[in-house]
């Protein structure tokens, strides 16, 4: 399980970047940021796929490609659009708090399939993670202005964050189950498949969104500091956060038990906070530090509880 832990932490490290990139691209819409990210991810994946030849594509069944198409939609397109909408309109603290439920939901969903752990053993780690998430974000909450001008956007941001939460919860467990049942598909190959199918979604969505004037494609043709900055960050999101992050998470999903995968997702939040502190050039406050301490404690306690559970099972059998 140690190698799975290493891959999961490495994946969460690069995923932590997604919480700060929207702040550097505030002059671009959430859809433009999300589609730009997956356009870059898709182009890289297509290049890698074509490099291996057509034989690589036809070697796998239609079921595998349909699965990749479905996973690409939920784990990439819907998830990151939801994250960006949440960060932009429901504030970063609210979005992080909602997405902080991901480890708990993934652990419950994974354990529902595998029955590897008792709910009683998961309870205290859940409580520590939940309290930690609240404390980390408590100082950022301020009374919201629920005027008719802002409430619609705020509720839209909340909905986006909830869609991201539920979509990624489903993907994390189903993707792990699929990879465990398909050892013939390497983690890198599967990351490339997900990128290629995600690119198809981007190609379908771009003309539709442009037609309804939800994005303005012509502004990306102009060469100016804003577009240079956009494409620089999009490359980071597409190559580092998407392809490399997906590859690392696929490797982790193979080695980690289904019921434990969720707990390691909290590292994404922890690394996200680290990057935020670095960008803002500050140290965490007392409450933030206490929250981080409780989240790390929840992870460590979950590992200990899981090992004790496995030892008891071994003694019984």
pLDDT digits (tens, 9 = 90+) for 110-154: 888 777 667 777 888 888 988 998 888 777 665 554 444 578 888
- The predicted-structure confidence for 76-86, as pLDDT tens digits, reads as follows 888 878 887 88
Q: Is the pLDDT of residue 3 over 80?
A: yes
Counting the structural domains of the chain, the total is: 1
Distance CA 222, CA 207 (A): 19
Handedness of CA 277, 236, 104, 312 (dihedral sign): negative
Please tell me the chain's helix, strand, coil percentages from 3-state DSSP, rounded to the nearest 5. Answer: 85, 0, 15
Query: Which pTM does this prediction carry?
Result: 0.85
- The predicted-structure confidence for 58-110, as pLDDT tens digits, reads as follows 788 889 999 999 999 998 888 878 887 887 788 777 787 788 788 888 888 88
Phi, psi torsion values for 187, nearest 5 degrees: -60, -40
Read off the DSSP letter of residue 220.
G
Read off the DSSP letter of residue 62.
H
Q: Is the pLDDT of residue 35 over 80?
A: yes
Report yes or no: 161 and 90 within 8 Å, Cβ to Cβ.
yes
Least confident span in 158-162, 265-269, 278-282, 306-310: 306-310
Domain range for 53: 2-316
């Amino acid at each position: 399980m140690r190698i799975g832990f290493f891959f999961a932490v490495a994946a969460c490290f690069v995923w932590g970047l997604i919480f700060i990139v929207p702040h550097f691209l505030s002059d671009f819409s959430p859809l433009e940021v999300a589609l730009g990210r997956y356009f870059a991810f898709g182009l890289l994946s297509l290049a890698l796929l074509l490099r291996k030849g057509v034989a690589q594509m036809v070697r796998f069944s239609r079921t595998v490609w349909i699965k990749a198409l479905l996973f690409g939609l939920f784990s990439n397109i819907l998830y990151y659009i939801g994250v960006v909408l949440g960060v932009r309109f429901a504030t970063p603290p609210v979005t992080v708090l909602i997405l902080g439920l991901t480890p708990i939901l993934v652990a419950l969903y994974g354990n529902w399939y595998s029955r590897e752990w008792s709910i009683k053993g998961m309870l205290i780690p859940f409580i520590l993670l939940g309290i930690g998430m609240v404390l980390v974000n408590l100082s950022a909450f301020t009374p919201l202005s629920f005027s008719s001008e802002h409430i619609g956007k705020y509720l839209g941001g909340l909905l986006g964050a909830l869609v991201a939460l539920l979509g990624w919860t489903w993907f994390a467990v189903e993707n792990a189950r699929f990879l465990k049942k398909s050892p013939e598909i390497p983690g890198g190959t599967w990351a490339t498949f997900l990128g290629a199918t995600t690119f198809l979604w981007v190609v379908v969505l771009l003309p539709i969104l442009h037609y309804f004037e939800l994005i303005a494609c012509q502004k990306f043709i102009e060469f100016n500091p804003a577009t240079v900055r956009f494409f620089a960050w999009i490359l980071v999101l597409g190559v580092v956060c998407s392809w490399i992050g997906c590859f690392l998470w696929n490797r982790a999903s193979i080695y980690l038990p289904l019921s434990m995968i969720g707990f390691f997702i909290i590292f994404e939040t922890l690394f996200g906070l680290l990057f935020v502190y670095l960008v803002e050039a500050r140290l965490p406050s007392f409450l933030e530090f206490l929250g981080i301490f409780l989240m790390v404690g929840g992870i460590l306690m979950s590992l200990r509880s899981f090992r004790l559970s496995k030892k008891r099972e071994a003694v019984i059998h």
